[in-house]
Amino acid sequence: MYALPQATPRYDLELEPVSLVRSGHAEFQLSALPTDNLLAMLCVNDPTPQKMAAIEHAGVLVTMTLVDHESARTSVKRGYLAADWSPTPESWNEAPADFEGVWFRPDRHSEYTLTVDVELDHPPVTPPVVNATPHVRGGGFGTH
């Protein structure tokens, strides 16, 4: 019997979690990033069917904005989180995420601002705790 190795990104910067069931804005300053292809993405913390149903019912619209201060270039990804969205940090192993975020290749000397804005079409009256952690990951993949 053979086991296939699990692929993992070479770089994975885990940022502070944000709520997915309350409207909000989070801002992160990034610098000294590796000069490889990277992806800024969201991963639901401890996804359960109940949490995913709460996301679906609330109509969660996420906007990720990445500003490169060196070039003054801005990249934006905006979309609704859907029930079939792959919510885990390992989602790229299973199926592409509907909301995968912003791809970029940093210059080592650039500084970036990553913002995550959450808007709700139907805010819950008593929101459950549903957080997502922004990640910046990539740089090729290794196995373990």
* Residue type, position 58, single letter: A
pLDDT digits 0-9 by tens, 41-69:
888 888 888 888 888 899 999 999 999 99
Rounded Cα–Cα distance for residues 58 and 114 (Å) = 24
pTM of the shown model: 0.81
* Per-residue confidence (pLDDT) for residue 138, from 0 to 100: 86
Whether the per-residue pLDDT at 134 is higher than 60: the answer is: yes
Confidence label for 99 from pLDDT (cuts 50, 70 and 90) = low
CB-count burial class (<10 Å; 0-12, 13-18, 19+) for 64: buried
Q: What is the mean pLDDT of the chain?
A: 82
Bridge partners of 19, per DSSP, are 131
Name the architecture of domain 24-138. Answer: Sandwich (2.60)
Over its C-alpha atoms, the chain yields an Rg (Å, rounded) of: 16
